[in-house]
Structure 1
Amino acid sequence: MFLTLLSHQWRSELRSSVFQKSIALNIILGLFIVYFGGIFLFLGFYLDDILAKIYPGQNVVTIFNGMLLVYFLIDLFFRFLMQELPVLAIQPYLHLPISKNKLVHYVLVKSVPSFFNLLPLLFFVPFMVTSVIPAFGSGMAIVWLLTLVVVTLLNNFLLLYFKRQMSNKPLYTLAFGITIVSLMLLDYLDVLQLQVISQAIFGAILVQPWLVIVPVLLLAGAYLLNFYFLKAHTYPEELRVHKAKEATGGDIAFLNRFGELGKLIELELKLIWRHKRTKSIIIMSAIFLFYGFIFYGKGNYMDGFGILIFVGIILSGMPMFNYGQFLPGWQSGHFDGLLTQRISPYQFLSAKYWMMVPVMVLAFILTLPYGFFGYKILLINAAALLYNVGVNVFIVFFFSVYNTQKLDLSKSASFNWQGVGASKFVMMLPLMVLPILIYLPFGLLDVPYAGIAAIGGLGLLGIIFQKQLLTFSANRFTAHKYKLAAGYRQS
């Protein structure tokens, strides 16, 4: 039955029109896989020499074991961003004499031979041959490798479960993500020493191989968790296609008081929450909130202002950059219908503006703890927030009329270049570089805080005259709306 289901899916993929259109993309993706596979294979064979040079006089296997826990946390993080859920069009099989258990097992087993599960073997196996076997023998080395494979698969099934929970229990997924980020943050701050814990866990396997049963039991639990969840959601009444209803406002009571503007914002929020690519944008924006740890607290960066302005612009502006760079492509699937509605371009852009402003303010509030690294970080980030709200939003609106490529919102953002064009890279230049250029003359005159005030003041002017700037943006949108509609039909 597994082979039959596999052949059915293979044929459906080959016969799909999408497969024919994405051959070039698949070739590029294949080259990326070969490239990264080669890097992992090289590191696997030469990692013992590299670690011996970095940590002279220390056991390379112990050092490697100390890195494994951090590696698996990073692996979970990247899986969350890029790994797709294994799927099967299960409805055509439900009326046939096929056990539902077999269908669910097939979906789960299908996820095992994935890129994320196979790639680590190119890294672990060579290191085992060059370092673990000479030190501990073949038997212990095989048990050690089996443990790493089991933990890799544990990551796989944990990720699948929490990704499936995103649709109906988002708080579970949020708690899961916060836990992973908190562990890495505690390790960065030396509150929790993951390296020592990792050495103890994986070093114990090489001394007491029977402990491999612990990750095996955890893997079995994660598999059963996925199995019973999928089995509970394969009934025909849960899979039936519901009749499409007219999208209306009113579900978010707070937005009702803003009338038509509130309804448009609510519809925008629903669009973001219901599609893969928009949700990927949210995740990527949240990750960038930790971008400051790369620069803050390090003397080389803290002594200057230019790089801190750049970081401040990114911290509060990344949600707007990620989402705004594809405007109005998010509505490309129904853009012709949008033009027939009694919605003015001013209302359309105003809803975008007032949806992004609170998000940027929230991003600024969440990054306030960076103020512990220095008071000037708070001043710079506050000025950057004003600049993003008063200037950068309208720069995004200015370049949005060049986004004429249709977006498929059902696809995630990972390895997805749809909608990415030259205008995106051109738009990023004024967004990132212009505030630094505004600061530059003040920096050369050795009055840096006047430069920060100039950036914040320019943003404040933009906020004061936001109605006029929105009107200008709306007129520009009106002049290009038919060109946008034609581009969406052709792409």
Structure 2
Amino acid sequence: MNKLFVFLEKKRLLRNKNQDMNTVLTVFKWLAIVYFGLMFLLLGIGGYFSIEKAGLGMGSPIQVISRFWMYYMVAEMMMRFMLQKLPTASIKPLLVLPIPKLKIVKFYVGSSFVSAFNFVQLLFIIPFTIVCLSKGYSIIGVLAWVVAVYLCVCTMHFVNILIESYKSVFIAVIVVFGSLAAIQYFNLFDSTEYTQYLLYSVYEYPVLVLAYALILAASIWLTIRYYVTNMYMDDLLKTKVEVGTTQEMKWLDGFGTYASFLKNDLRLIMRNKRARTTVLMSVLFMFYGFLVLTPGHNGEYPMFMMIFVAFFVSGGFLMMFGQYVPSWDSSYYPLMMTQNITYKNYLKSKWLIIALGTAISMLGAVLYINKSMELVYLILAMGMFNIGVNGYIVLWGGAYLKSPVDLTANKNVFGDKNAFNLRVMLISLPKLFLPVIFYYIGAAICGFWGGVVTLAIVGIIGMFFQVPVFKFIEKIYKKEKYSTLDAFKSK
């Protein structure tokens, strides 16, 4: 049976319309895997000796790793949530065949485990184990400890799936990791002094590795149970209908011909899970500076980091919402193209909603008044730059993004995720690097204020060049119109 599933997957990949883009993505993916693999290998070989040489006073290298293991788990969970591409499957044709649902689920859940996220850690674990054994550590203790470490890695894979399946799991993960982060950030006490025993106790009492095995087994069982109980043809075919509420939004009528588009976008955000999550993520970006900004030896924040913080604080909505234009409208895009709607009005309305979201994000500057007034001014200037320059770049890149968006879910192990596009990636690079370049050009002339004023002026000038810019973007959208329609219809 598994051979049949593998054969069907090969057929699906060979028939994929975006095979060329997937090939490019695979090249970049393997370059990243090789890089991180080498980093893990070097850490595995030299990590033991580096910890000993550092003289941290926290015990043996195993104790040190056990102490900071929670930080690694948080970082990996964030990486998995944002980057891990879970395999997709067209399961509707399989449900009409005499194939047990359990076999279908087991195959696709099992195949989802075949990921670099789950194996690259072995390049650290195996060398580190060899070094520890050569240093005379207990063989049983070390083996039990490394098995527990790898079981944690495996568990994170299935927890990542469960986060999308059960809202309670997502909330639990956020509460646990958020509480630990708050304890560390506000220096209430060092939580790592206590969390280290969750892992180090396995070295001292190897039988405790069974607890980690049980946790992994429970996560696998919950994952399989979720998909088996929700895999019914009726559920997959029927359209979910919800009772909606009507919002007048008369305050938007002042935007004239763009008002109806703006109202539709705001209704989309308020009514759909994916769009609401996007707004939530945009709000979280406003607190980005509290996570990454640390004062240097002179008590001041590095200017390079302040620029990036200003970009992410003011540009959270721009990145999270803007990058999916026109994919947000994929469900009714073909119908919209049959109406008396011009691309100019459509694009201008999208730019206005991005500008509105960016302007609201700029209010996040108030959060950093106690940290640095320079950062506050930088956020405001960066917000103007994002509206006047990056807003256009995002819409330009959207012309080449032909991945439909499922408004009812964030992502799904059986869903469709094909949002990578090389042109979009290349067009998006200036969005991040242009503000840095313009700031340093201005700073080279008149210092900090020269950089801030340059960003603000460039953004304001960009706002006055709307007509020629929108003409250029409109031509691109018209050129890509039919390929976009074909992509949205074949979702």
The separation in 2 between residues aligned to 1:371 and 1:386, in whole angstroms, is: 19
Deviates most, 315-324 or 282-291: 282-291
> Any residues of structure 2 matched to 1:179-198 within 5 Å, and which?
179-181=176-178, 183-184=180-181, 186-198=183-195
Alpha-carbon offset, residue 48 of structure 1: 1.1
Q: Are residues 105 and 314 of structure 1, via their aligned partners in 2, closer, same or farther at CA, if it must alter by over 3 Å?
A: closer
| CA deviation after TM superposition for structure 1 residue 118, in Å | 1.5
Q: Secondary structure at the match of 2:112?
A: coil
Find the partner of 1:354 among 343, 346, 352: 352
CA deviation after TM superposition for structure 1 residue 208, in Å: 1.7
The offset of 1:131, in angstroms, is 0.9
User: Aligned equivalents of 1:347 and 1:318: distance in 2?
Assistant: 24
2:63–2:196 Cα contact (<8 Å) kept: yes
Which deviates further from its counterpart, 76-85 or 22-31? 22-31
Q: Distance in 1 between matches of 2:261 and 2:6?
A: 48
**Aligned-pair RMSD on alpha carbons?**
4.4
Give the alignment of 1:416-435 within 5 angstroms. 416-420=420-424, 422-426=426-430, 428-435=432-439
In structure 2, the partner of 1:214 is 211
How many angstroms does 1:82 deviate by?
1.6
* 3-state SS of 1:76 partner: helix
Cα deviation digits, residues 121-141 of structure 1 (max 9, x gap): 221122112115744422222
Q: Compared with structure 1, are the counterparts of its residues 331 and 250 closer, same or farther at alpha carbon in structure 2 (3 Å cutoff)?
A: same
Deviation for aligned residue 1:90: 3.1
Q: 1:196–1:474: structure 2 CA closer, same or farther, 3 Å change rule?
A: same
Q: Give the Cα–Cα distance (whole angstroms) in 2 for the partners of residues 419 and 282 of structure 1.
A: 27
Once the two structures are overlaid, the 10-residue window that deviates more, 144-153 or 379-388, is 379-388
Between 1:325-334 and 1:98-107, the stretch displaced more is 325-334
Kindly state the Cα deviation for residue 29 of structure 1 after the two structures are TM-superposed: 2.9
What letter matches 2:424 in structure 1?
V
Partners of 2:190 and 2:358 lie apart in 1 by 33
Cα deviations by residue, 1:16-63 (Å, 9 ceiling, x for unpaired)? 555576345434433443443233223212221222222367522211
Q: Matched residues in 1 for 2:301 and 2:30: separation?
A: 44
Q: After superposition, what is the alpha-carbon deviation per residue over 1:299-327, rounded to whole angstroms, capped at 9, x for unaligned? A: 55837767635532342124325654676
Q: Which residue of the partner structure matches residue 155 of structure 1? A: 156
Q: Give 1:308's aligned residue.
A: 306
The answer on whether the counterparts of 1:44 and 1:122 sit within 8 Å (CA) in structure 2 is yes
Seen in structure 2, the aligned counterparts of structure 1 residues 10 and 475 have a Cα distance that, compared at 3 Å, is closer
| Structure 1 position 37 matched with structure 2 position 41 | no
Q: 1:114 to 1:348 in 2, by over 3 A?
A: same
Match of 1:378 among 376, 379, 391: 376
Deviations 1:388-427 (A, max 9, x none): 44x335xx3278457653432466588x343336543345
Query: Residue 48 of structure 1 corresponds to which residue in structure 2?
Result: 48
Q: Closer, same or farther in 2 for the Cα pair 1:39/1:59, shift >3 Å? A: same
Q: What's 2:125 paired with?
A: 124
Whichever residue aligns with residue 113 of structure 1, its letter is V
Structure 2 distance, partners of 1:412, 1:103, is 20
1:126-141 matches, within 5 Å, as: 126-131=127-132, 134-141=135-142
- Residue 70 of structure 1: SS of its match in structure 2? helix
Counterparts in 2 of 1:204-243, with a 5 A limit?
204-240=201-237, 242=239
Task: Describe the superposition over 1:106-131 as per-residue Cα deviations: whole angstroms up to 9, x where unpaired.
Answer: 33333333321222122112211211
Structure 1 pair 56–482 and aligned structure 2 pair: CA distance change class (3 A)? closer
1:78: Cα distance to partner?
0.9
Question: How much has 1:382 moved relative to structure 2?
Answer: 3.5
5+ residue gaps, structure 1 = none
Query: Residue 457 of structure 1: CA displacement?
Result: 7.7
Instruction: Normalising by structure 1, report the TM-score.
Output: 0.77
In structure 2, what is the Cα distance between the partners aligned to 1:159 and 1:484? 35
Secondary structure of the residue that 2:370 maps to in structure 1? helix
Contact kept? 2:45, 2:128, Cα under 8 Å: yes
Judge conservation of contact 1:404–1:484 (CA < 8 Å) in 2. Answer: yes
Q: Distance in 1 between matches of 2:223 and 2:284?
A: 26
Deviation at 1:346, TM superposition (A): 4.7
> Any idea what SS the aligned residue of 1:373 has?
coil
CA–CA separation in structure 1 for the residues paired with 2:474 and 2:17: 34
Partners in 2 of 1:317 and 1:481 — Cα distance? 23
Offset of 1:143 from its aligned partner? 1.6
Give the share of equivalent positions with the same residue, in percent: 18
Structure 1 296/403 Cα, relative in aligned 2: closer, same or farther at 3 Å? Answer: same
Q: Distance in 1 between matches of 2:324 and 2:366?
A: 28
Amino acid in the other structure paired with 1:207: E
Q: What does residue 392 of structure 2 align with?
A: 397
Aligned partners of 1:313, 1:406: CA distance in 2, in Å?
23
Write the letter of the residue equivalent to 1:420: V
Distance in 2 (CA, whole Å) between partners of 1:488 and 1:181 is 40
Distance 2:397 2:162 in 1: 39
Moved more, 194-203 or 173-182: 173-182
How far did residue 482 of structure 1 move?
Answer: 3.5
Shift of the alpha carbon at 1:4? 4.3
Contact 1:403 1:423 in 2 (8 A): no
In the TM superposition, residue 471 of structure 1 has moved relative to its aligned partner by 4.7
